[in-house]
Amino acid sequence: MHGSRASDSFLTEVIESTPGAETLITCLQCGTCGGSCPSGPDMDHTPRALFAMINAGMRDEVLQSNTPWYCVACYYCMVRCPKDIPITDLMYSLKRMAVREKLYDDRDAPDWSQSFIGMVDNYGRSFELGLATRYHLTHHPLKKVGVGPLALDMLSKDRMSLRPDRIKGIDQLRAILDKAKSMEAA
Amino acid sequence: MAERVGVYVCHCGSNIAGVVDVGGVAQWAKDNLEDVAVARDYKFMCSSLGQELIEQDIKEQGLTRVVVAACSPHLHEKTFRKACANAGLNPYLCHMVSLREQVSWVTTDKTAASEKAKAMISAGVRRVVLHEELEPTEVPVNPTTLVVGGGIAGIQASLELADAGYPVYLVEREPSIGGHMAQFDKTFPTLDCAACILTPKMSDVDGHPNIHLMSYSEVEEVTGYVGSFTARIRKKARYIKEADCTGCGICIEKCPKKVVDEVFEAGLGYRKAIYRPFPQAIPKFPVLDTANCTYFERGTCRACEKFCPTGAIDFEQADEYLDLDVGNIILATGYDLFDCAKIPQYGYGRLANVFTSLEFERMCNAAGPTEGKIVLRDGITEPKSVALIHCVGSRDKRHHPYCSAVCCMSALKFGHLVMEKTGADVTSFYIDMRPLHKNYEEFYDRLQQEGMHFIRGRAAEVTDAARLPGEEGKLIVQAEDTLIGRQRRFPVDMVILLGALQPRADAKETAVRFGISCSIDGWFTERHPKLDPVATMTDGVFIAGTCQGPKDIPDSVSQGAAASARVQGMITTGTVLIEPIIASIDEARCSGCRICNNLCPFNAIDYLEAKGVSSINAALCKGCGTCVAACPAMAITGAHFNYAQITAELEGILYDAVRGNGFGSPKRSGGDGRHAVIPEPALEPAS
Amino acid sequence: MRYAYYPGCSLTHSAAPYDLSTRAIAGPLGLALEEIEDWNCCGATEYISINKAAAYALVGRNLALAAQQGVSQDVVAPCSACYLNLRKVDHYMGKYPDLRDQTNQSLAAGGLHYDPGSLRIRHLLNVVVEDVGLEAIKSKVTRPLDGLRVAPYYGCLIARPQLNGGSIDPEYPTHLDHLLKNLGAEVVDFPLKTHCCGGHMTQISADTAYELIRRLLHNAAEYEADLIVTACPMCQLNLDAYQSQVNRHFGTGYHLPVLYFTQMIGLALGMEPAALGIGREVVSAAPALKKIGKVAPETPAAPRRRKRDDKALPMPRQREEA
């Protein structure tokens, strides 16, 4: 039964944080996920390798890996997995765990997500200009050569707003989100 | 005269003794239960010594009944009944109580277990004193056998029976026998030519004095029971008079209508509207496919008729129906190949140079559509690189969860053939290599030495969208090479998909027709997966070959032989013993309401018009008890499960609740308020 | 046919042409779209990366409001990511009682509640093809798009995951192909039609994203498509707005306009391009659209009779399309 060895605590934690992930213990290590992944070649470890590492209890290495952050959530792995493992959902769980424990070294990806949700928490809607400026100015601004012209393009085609939209029920939303956040493990 | 019951409580090693206080329970039985003359506990009752213990006590202690409290009757009921019979006691005077499956294996609470054991033994003892001596019915066994399916398993079974001197009807749905094996080129691991080893057997079938081959025929209906089945066969019209046909084949040559042969050529080649599936077909008579025949579509042509030198074409021929009386049936109906188009990412049906295993067999076969040349879909170009994808539809929760047993070996075989014929580069994409049987691992080693490449990674997709240099104009197999942990792309010219073996599309209907069951996957269910793979739960119906589950040719042959051996055993014995634990109707009490007729799951109850009563066929009855319970007049008795016996068993279980009311009598004389009272039936039971 | 309309954040700005064209064709197609009052962001692929309970609650608010407002049992989302988030939350709440209870507890803090299964979440493309029907659409076409070679690009989230309700084949869908064919266009069998555009990877790792975008552009160009037609704002943004960056990065010269299927429907129904938001794409579609009606439609060649010495092997029999 899984969960009985000391090295299984990480495996158990990963499974419990993801609905439907009990099938992870039946993984055949067939490699369909690693073979299907569009960003697989850019990952430290393929999704399959990551599951082997989870099984081996390699908590730090897994949460430090860039694999979940390179997941584009295209769900190819999930629809092709012969054992019905909810791979993409597991990647999201690993992202959450890495953020909580501040284990992933490269700050770009988590910061992008944090900035995005910061906008949503404030306005109830995403706000591209705000998101882009906040994020890009604090993350390798000098490398962001194309962003300026891109932004100008979007503005000139009237596809970007200078000001955020705010929903009427923002207080209601905040109450809901605060309650939710209080329930999710710290 | 009071009965003398022997009670034997088995330890079963520590299986029972580890939970139940076997010694204490045995002693308790001796001290407390009426009629118990001897009560022992013993380590392994099923051992020779254990059995001899029973036999000795019957002889020396004059036992008239025996209760063995041990494992499940499924396992050893026969053993203990035989022991009693050896000592001269009717075997049906022996009763088993399951202290293992129903007590020691379902709890760890020793006190509760011992109490339950006492209750169950008490029930067994009270019941067994009411047992009657029963004798099984003997029914004759018709020495003729029906074999359904003319593939290698069916052929083997037929030949073994026929060579032993017994008549066989071999019914095959396709125009020729041979099955899937006839489609193959070579067989693993010997690389024997499939036709070379199959056609001698097919030849033996053809013209064998004891085999009546009915090809292009189907079994429509089966009635009867073991030893006496009747099968209604539909001989489909070939539109050819077999008596006149010489097999010259001019009709085939002259037929103007060419269609894709979806069956034998697996869709890779063509045949005519009038055709023989392959040159060595047995029987040699062609078949006219009316769905594609110009005459049947439009009323014109009739070229075959014009050119036939013996006037053997008969457009008016109709299907023929025959009834065959047989004693036993062997089902060897084979498998279907998985439809690889169900996995679109492999490109089958869309990308021209993706082939299935059966298509590739036809391609390699010298009598096939390319005369044995391995070429791309254009029919001309030889591939320089080939990929083999394992587990297509197998080991996959979305399709078939099981492993198809033969694909890894087939892949090795294909690899060898490709390299031998074309010198092309071959790469296999597998999850696990499964060369399991004799000389299979050595074959794997051979292919490694021959230079076949193996990538441990289930192919993710096959695409024609080139991305890297060298991929233009190729099919690219993308997979993770799991042994190095990297995604790789392999440009190849041809891809072969090792599709799963799956049950025939109509397997479930076939099972129903023959009165057997299918597993959840659709394979026919054997009587016991380890110890009885060719028998079914229906006496007289056997299964052999891939219809029971995916397997290779040696296993199919073995099962065909095994099934025929079982049948031969029954034929040489001449009769079959039908268990006497069956129901019977008291005609005097039967009102002819016929409620029982339709309730019987085994169709064992007939209505006798003349007498106005129902009657149970002893050979078909399985003693399930449904009719016994349903009869409003209580006119039906279930032998060995009559009212008195069942009531006694219940009272035995409730021994500590009904203690005050006396043992040994099924009648109640009124309770005292503190103890359970079993109510009187509204009617006096029939017995 | 009434639907509760969930435009999603992209459609309010970066994909405004999608929203504009959707509303423009809704009337003629008989779709009454009523926007959900005060809907909020669905969280895209971001919220779920940080906090699961909040991500579900965020979507939950939309579902609760839609159910409460009772416009229709069908909620239609034009954006594939919104479509995924809405139906995934609904499906998982139905499948996992703990998740359902937790989400409803969060919603309760805002006075809301949602019973999973009370709404049917639909993608706009599916609604158009299944509810309106290809025959009905074809009958309304006044300006057939013949002369135009289009590559139908579905993207990933409209087709996957299936969640026991996806009506589109996850590997090889054909809805959009058939729709465009019925609009008169020549549809190119574009094998990468459900491959991912990279999503937000443009912000995380531009190299990865550009490569994914390049593959799609390359494949469409290889098949000589004049235009890529899409059903997702993220895909449109990546393929369109980043096309020049991709060209710069790889030294390629793609010029492939990317439009929404709703804009194509509008054009075929005879509407003016500006009314459909055409002209607001970064890579101009104007040159491609000039081809409409110009090239004489080719009559399909008569099926070749099999010559006597033709060695070609037959292709596998195609199963009937669902």
The token pair at A94 is 């690993």
Question: Which residues in chain A are contacts of C108 at CB distance < 8 A?
Answer: 179
A171 with A88, same domain: the answer is: no
| Structural domain boundaries in chain B | 5-129, 145-232+321-334+506-575, 250-307, 336-502, 583-638
CB within 8 Å: C49 and A110: yes
Q: What is the mean pLDDT of residues B416-434?
A: 98
Count of CB atoms situated within 10 Å of the CB of A80? 23
Radius of gyration of chain C (CA): 21
CB within 8 Å: A83 and B397: yes
Percent of chain C residues topping a pLDDT of 90 = 86
The token pair at B460 is 């993710």
Non-local (6+) Cβ contacts of A115 within 8 A are A131, A134, A135
Nearest chain B residue to C309, by CA = B379
Which helix (DSSP H) or strand (DSSP E) does residue B76 occupy?
helix B73-86
**pLDDT higher than 80, residue A3:** no
| Fold of the domain built from segment(s) C133-289 | Rossmann fold (3.40.50)
**pLDDT higher than 80, residue B607:** yes
Kindly report the nearest CA distance between residue A48 and chain B, in angstroms. 8
A70 with A151, same domain: the answer is: no
CB within 8 Å: A34 and B482: yes
Cα-flanking dihedrals φ and ψ of residue A155, to 5°? Answer: -65, -40
Q: Which of A36, A41, A49 is opposite residue B460, by nearest beta carbon?
A: A36
Res B675: pLDDT = 45
Q: Which of C40, C46, C157 is opposite residue A113, by nearest beta carbon?
A: C46
Nearest chain A residue to B342, by CA = A80
DSSP letter at C132 equals I
Give the integer Cα–Cα distance in Å for B550 and B334.
9
Give the integer Cα–Cα distance in Å for C68 and B647.
61
**Residue A108, in any domain of the structure:** no
Percent of chain A residues topping a pLDDT of 70 = 93
- Ramachandran area for residue B33 (φ above 0: left; ψ -120 to 50: alpha; else beta): beta
Question: Which residues in chain C are contacts of B352 at CB distance < 8 A?
Answer: 315
**pLDDT higher than 90, residue B639:** yes
CB within 8 Å: C53 and A169: no
Tell me which residues of chain C, numbers 180 to 239, contact chain A at a CB-CB cutoff of 8 Å: 195-196, 198-201, 203-205, 207-208, 212
Question: Which residues in chain B are contacts of C314 at CB distance < 8 A?
Answer: 260, 267-270
pLDDT in tens, A88-129: 999 999 999 999 988 887 788 888 899 899 999 999 998 888
A11 with A68, same domain: the answer is: yes
A78 with A154, same domain: the answer is: no
A92 with A144, same domain: the answer is: no
Residue C124 in contact with residue C154, Cβ under 8 Å? no
Q: Which class is domain B583-638?
A: alpha beta
CB within 8 Å: C242 and A109: no
Task: For chain B, say whether C182 makes contact (Cβ under 8 Å).
Answer: no
Residue B81 in contact with residue B55, Cβ under 8 Å? no
pLDDT in tens, B163-204: 999 999 999 999 999 999 999 999 999 999 999 999 999 999
CA dihedral A19, A22, A28, A34 (to 10 degrees): 20
Q: What is the mean pLDDT of residues B60-69?
A: 96
CA dihedral A38, A39, A45, A46 (to 10 degrees): -10
Res B99: pLDDT = 96
Tell me which residues of chain A, numbers 93 to 152, contact chain C at a CB-CB cutoff of 8 Å: 93, 95-96, 99, 108-110, 112-114, 116-117, 120, 124-126, 128, 135, 146, 149-150
DSSP reduced 3-state for B386: strand
Q: What is the mean pLDDT of residues B605-619?
A: 92
A132 with A89, same domain: the answer is: no
Residue B685's pLDDT band (cuts 50, 70, 90): low
Give the integer Cα–Cα distance in Å for B592 and B609.
9
**pLDDT higher than 50, residue B462:** yes
Task: For chain C, say whether A157 makes contact (Cβ under 8 Å).
Answer: yes
Residue B681, preceding peptide bond in cis (omega within 30° of 0): no
Res B684: pLDDT = 66
Question: Domain range holding A123?
Answer: 113-185
A94 with A160, same domain: the answer is: no
Task: For chain A, say whether C108 makes contact (Cβ under 8 Å).
Answer: yes
A134 with A71, same domain: the answer is: no
B: neighbours with 3+ CB pairs under 8 Å?
A, C
Residue A137's pLDDT band (cuts 50, 70, 90): confident
Res C167: pLDDT = 73
Tell which of A94, A126, A155 to mutate to test the C interface (max C CBs under 10 Å).
Answer: A126
A78 with A124, same domain: the answer is: no
CATH topology of B5-129 equal to that of B583-638? no
Res A132: pLDDT = 81
A24 with A69, same domain: the answer is: yes
A158 with A93, same domain: the answer is: no
pLDDT in tens, B402-412: 999 999 999 99
Minimal CA–CA distance to C63: which of C24, C109, C26, C104? C104
Whether domain B336-502 has CATH 3.50.50.60:
yes
pLDDT averages per 10-residue partition of chain C, 322 residues:
95 93 96 96 94 96 96 96 96 96 96 96 96 95 94 95 81 95 94 94 91 96 95 96 94 96 96 94 93 69 64 81 42
Minimal CA–CA distance to A92: which of A32, A26, A19? A19
Looking at per-residue confidence, does A146 or B183 come out higher? B183
Res B648: pLDDT = 93
Q: Which of B345, B397, B479 is opposite residue A31, by nearest beta carbon?
A: B479
Task: For chain C, say whether B463 makes contact (Cβ under 8 Å).
Answer: yes
pLDDT in tens, B138-152: 999 999 999 999 999
Residue B209, preceding peptide bond in cis (omega within 30° of 0): no
CB within 8 Å: C17 and A109: no
Residue A159's pLDDT band (cuts 50, 70, 90): confident
CB within 8 Å: B458 and A30: yes
Cα-flanking dihedrals φ and ψ of residue A144, to 5°? Answer: -85, 65
Question: Which residues in chain A are contacts of C45 at CB distance < 8 A?
Answer: 73
Burial category of B670 from C-beta neighbours within 10 Å (exposed 0-12, middle 13-18, buried 19 and up): exposed
Task: For chain A, say whether C20 makes contact (Cβ under 8 Å).
Answer: no
Q: Name the CATH architecture for the domain at B145-232+321-334+506-575.
A: 3-Layer(bba) Sandwich (3.50)
Task: For chain C, say whether A175 makes contact (Cβ under 8 Å).
Answer: yes
Cα-flanking dihedrals φ and ψ of residue C41, to 5°? Answer: -55, 145
Residue B658's pLDDT band (cuts 50, 70, 90): low
**pLDDT higher than 80, residue A186:** no
Tell which of C6, C11, C12, C50 to mutate to test the A interface (max A CBs under 10 Å).
Answer: C50
Res B668: pLDDT = 41
Q: Which of C51, C102, C108 is opposite residue A96, by nearest beta carbon?
A: C51
Minimal CA–CA distance to B499: which of B611, B343, B626? B343
Instruction: Name the E strands within B71-176.
Output: 94-98, 137-140, 145-148, 168-171
CATH code of the domain covering residue A33: 1.10.1060.10
Q: Which class is domain C2-124?
A: mainly alpha
Which helix (DSSP H) or strand (DSSP E) does residue A49 occupy?
helix A47-55
The token pair at C64 is 């609760």
Res B631: pLDDT = 94
**pLDDT higher than 70, residue B289:** yes
Q: Which of B258, B344, B349 is opposite residue C171, by nearest beta carbon?
A: B344
CB within 8 Å: A112 and C201: no
Nearest chain A residue to B399, by CA = A82
How many domains is chain A partitioned into structurally? 2
Q: What is the mean pLDDT of residues B248-275?
A: 96
Q: What is the mean pLDDT of residues B587-599?
A: 93
CA distances from A24 to A8, A98, B397, B633 (A): 12, 19, 13, 58
Res B74: pLDDT = 87
Give the integer Cα–Cα distance in Å for B373 and C34.
64
Res A153: pLDDT = 80
Mean pLDDT of the residues in chain B:
93
Residue B42 in contact with residue B30, Cβ under 8 Å? no
Task: For chain B, say whether A85 makes contact (Cβ under 8 Å).
Answer: no
Residue B222 in contact with residue B186, Cβ under 8 Å? no
Tell me which residues of chain C, numbers 185 to 214, contact chain B at a CB-CB cutoff of 8 Å: 191-192
Kindly report the nearest CA distance between residue B581 and chain C, in angstroms. 48
**Residue A72, in any domain of the structure:** yes
Looking at per-residue confidence, does B673 or B495 come out higher? B495
Res A133: pLDDT = 81
**pLDDT higher than 50, residue B672:** no
Whether domain B5-129 has CATH 3.40.1620:
no
B100-136 as b/e, with b when 16 or more CB fall inside 10 Å?
beebbbeeeeeeebbbbbbbbbbbbbbbbbbbeebeb
Cα-flanking dihedrals φ and ψ of residue A165, to 5°? Answer: -90, 145
DSSP reduced 3-state for A1: coil
pLDDT in tens, B294-320: 999 999 999 999 999 999 999 999 999
| Structural domain boundaries in chain C | 2-124, 133-289
